[in-house]
Amino acid sequence: QVQVEESGGGSVQAGGSLRLSCVVSGVPFHHCLGWFRQVPGKEREKVASVDSDGSTAYQDYVRGRFAVSRDRVKNTVYLHMNRLKPEETAMYYCAVGSEKIYSELGPDEVPPPGRMDHWGKGTLVTVSS
């Protein structure tokens, strides 16, 4: 009965910013939350993640521009995206996974999409040039 719902997608000009939200329910206390994105015809790729302790990880391409945060009270995780690029136009997905995944990862590594257990339906982000 885990539910994951993203919101906040929309259109933004290149160089602009956008904040995505992901509300989750039925999630175990110990878990990880990840943000991923996918363009038609391409594999789903890592963006960022945060674990139950608040530790974050970022894909190299977005590090320094994107920031993920978590609000325990609101059961919401946010993805703050800054200096967006046209090539980052994609469906952005929020996903929930077990913290057991981290035993397979290196330091500051976002879990691979295949290791996540529950996914939202996605929210579209369009970055225009």
- Is the per-residue pLDDT at 99 higher than 90? no
Share of the chain above pLDDT 90, in %: 83
How confident is the model over 52-63, as a mean pLDDT?
93
Helix (H) or strand (E) holding 34: strand 32-38
How far is the C-alpha of 96 from the C-alpha of 31, rounded, in Å?
A: 7
Residue 107: what pLDDT? 79
| Of 8-12, 13-17, 28-32, 70-74, the least confident | 28-32
Average pLDDT of the chain to the nearest whole number: 94
- Is the per-residue pLDDT at 38 higher than 90? yes
